[in-house]
Amino acid sequence: MPATSRFPVAPYLFACLLGLMALFGLWFGIGQPVELADAATPTHKLQCASYTPFDMDQSPFDQPIKLRPERMDADLAILAKRFECLRTYSVTGLEDLPNMARKHGLKLIVGAWVSRNSADTAIEIAGLVKVANAHPDVIQAVIVGNEALLRKEVTPQQLVTLIEQVKAQIKQPVTYADVWEFWLKHPQIAPTVDFITIHLLPYWEDNPAGIETALHEVAEVRRTFGSAYAPKDILIGETGWPSEGRQRETAVPSLVNQAKFIRGFVAMAEQNGWRYNLIEAFDQPWKRASEGAVGGYWGLYDASREDKSILAGPVSNLPHWPAWLALSLGLFASTLLLAGRPRSPRAALLLPLLAALGAACIGLFSELMLVTSRYVGEWLWASSLIALNLLVLAHAALLLSQQQDWRVRSLHWLHARGALWLGLSGFAGAVMMLALVVDARYRSFPSAALILPAVVYLCRPVGGYRREIALLALLIGAGIALQLYQETLSNLQAVGWAMTSALLVAALWRSLRLKQRTAKSSGAWRPH
């Protein structure tokens, strides 16, 4: 289309205004603070929270484990303002923790880590007995094993033997901790313990509960156990909600949902006189390696020990949303500058809207990358997808700019490789679809990474790579129904990924049809 002689100012400014409003609405909508009733106040401390002493760059898999006493002391100073006691999961490296707890006025429920390695377990049991006898004023109870039956690392009889061994040597109450279903599967454990410790995590249930029903399900299980095992006491040894990660059916991780669950649970527990322990004190980034992004974000404080506002005060799903808005506005403005004068009144409308879409998608996926990326390979993959989106956004800007403009001439290499950008987008979509079909449990939905390429090349198909494009479209299209079946239609993140994938398949198909029509018109195309 020839360049217009007159710049369509009114449509362009109108579209720019719409784009700016959309970007502001997006980030403000995500980050808007929500007011909830406080769970903890300066005059009201909560019962207990799980504590692991690892800094944000540490994990229990580091050998040898080098815990930092100064970090633990600072952690306890923070937690003593909100809690009366802490629960630990091992005694290795925590021998001085009771002295620190005493200093800060905290009590402890100390755990021994029970595993399939009998030698390591014996060391943990010996350490548990020693520390319990040395600090009876601080250690209220001990836990012999955490979810060892769930992990199938010991038999019920082995566990009973360990519990009886510890009970014979200490004066504190002794228990075992596991997901509530495993107490029902192994009833022989209950008579051995002084009280029962159950884990209630609605997000991880086989049928995950959404935030609207999660507290009701927790209450039902707690009442069932209270009736079935009376007069033996029940400790809810773990309950909580993740602040980041993938949706499971109707269970959506977010900071607001975490605050809703924790504050609602505390109110319910204290009203009913339940004993409880919240999971967990601080985010543990190392857990992402085995549980995906969601594993690292169960903390009431983040890994840097900053308050996430889960217990008190207004809470926001994206506290730093102004920074993300600024990034999006910078991308929006840069796209418009790159494009220059639109080539037509229609382009004047489309250009700012595509610029806003690209800025939003790149911002959203960048935020997701910071949450989900665990190791170098994932950082490189996510960074490559961001780079691809930047190239697609620049290509879209050039498609809508005046053809004789210097930008198009100087960036001819970018303008001429639309088929490559589409092919790479299809390849990325096929890889991620395969991963979500074959190994979905711990993977987040990367919809924001492919919305822009799908929309751009659906509106403006590009020819090239016919066989490859057909294969990619087939792979992505075949996975849509499979992943929806696995996730169910109640998972809106999965539905969003399915819609994005469908748009990408449509873009690939349109480009394939364009190539076929071009080949037919030249007489070179032959059906196979």
Asked if residue 354 and residue 283 are part of one domain, the reply reads: no
Asked if residue 80 and residue 24 are part of one domain, the reply reads: no
Tokens (6 digits) for 405: 């403009």
Please name which of 499, 359, 364, 511 lies closest in space to residue 429, comparing C-alpha atoms.
Answer: 499
Residue 152 one-letter amino acid: K
Asked if residue 369 and residue 279 are part of one domain, the reply reads: no
Q: Does residue 306 lie in a domain region? A: no
Asked if residue 233 and residue 284 are part of one domain, the reply reads: yes
pTM strictly above 0.85:
yes
Please name which of 103, 116, 98 lies closest in space to residue 155, comparing C-alpha atoms.
Answer: 116
| Rounded Cα distance, 228 and 501, in Å | 48
Asked if residue 116 and residue 71 are part of one domain, the reply reads: yes
Domain residues for the domain of 335 are: 9-30+319-522
Q: Does residue 238 lie in a domain region? A: yes
Please name which of 386, 364, 383 lies closest in space to residue 373, comparing C-alpha atoms.
Answer: 383
Asked if residue 435 and residue 344 are part of one domain, the reply reads: yes
Q: Express each pLDDT in 300-333 by its tens digit.
A: 999 999 999 999 999 999 999 999 999 999 999 9
Please report which helix (H) or strand (E) contains residue 19, including its range: helix 9-31
Please report which helix (H) or strand (E) contains residue 432, including its range: helix 418-438
Strands 195-200 and 275-278, sheet pairing: unpaired
Tokens (6 digits) for 334: 């840069």
Chain centroid to CA 203: how far?
Answer: 12
| Rounded Cα distance, 280 and 299, in Å | 5
What's the length of the chain?
528
Q: Does residue 264 lie in a domain region? A: yes
Asked if residue 292 and residue 360 are part of one domain, the reply reads: no
| Rounded Cα distance, 296 and 314, in Å | 22
Q: Does residue 261 lie in a domain region? A: yes
Judge whether 53 and 67 are in contact, CB under 8 Å. Answer: yes
Cis geometry, peptide bond prior to residue 367 (ω within 30 degrees of 0): no
The angle that helices 418-438 and 492-522 make with each other, rounded to 10 degrees, is 140
Query: What is the b/e burial string over 417-440, where b = at least 16 CB atoms within 10 angstroms of the residue's CB?
Result: bbbbbbbbbbbbbbebbeebbeeb
Tally of domains within the chain: 2
Q: Which residue has the tokens 């809106």?
A: 492
Cα dist from 52 to 88, 91, 114, 299, whole Å: 6, 11, 16, 11
Mark which of 234, 264, 296 sits at the end of a domain.
296
Tokens (6 digits) for 258: 């975490």
What's the angle, vertex CA 430, arms to CA 428 and CA 433, rounded to 5? Answer: 105
| Rounded Cα distance, 268 and 258, in Å | 15
| pLDDT reported for residue 416 | 67
Asked if residue 329 and residue 242 are part of one domain, the reply reads: no
User: How many helices (H) and strands (E) in the chain?
Assistant: 18, 8
Tokens (6 digits) for 71: 């970090």
Helix ranges, 274-344 (H): 288-291, 321-339
What CATH number is given to the structural domain containing 222?
Answer: 3.20.20.80
Q: Does residue 1 lie in a domain region? A: no
| Rounded Cα distance, 76 and 98, in Å | 11
Asked if residue 253 and residue 116 are part of one domain, the reply reads: yes
φ, ψ for residue 297 (rounded to 5)?
-135, 50
Strands 195-200 and 83-87, sheet pairing: unpaired
Q: Does residue 426 lie in a domain region? A: yes
Chain centroid to CA 170: how far?
Answer: 41
Q: Does residue 302 lie in a domain region? A: no
**Low-confidence residues of the chain: pLDDT under 70:** 1-6, 403-412, 415-416, 515-528
Asked if residue 409 and residue 283 are part of one domain, the reply reads: no
Asked if residue 264 and residue 406 are part of one domain, the reply reads: no
Q: Does residue 372 lie in a domain region? A: yes
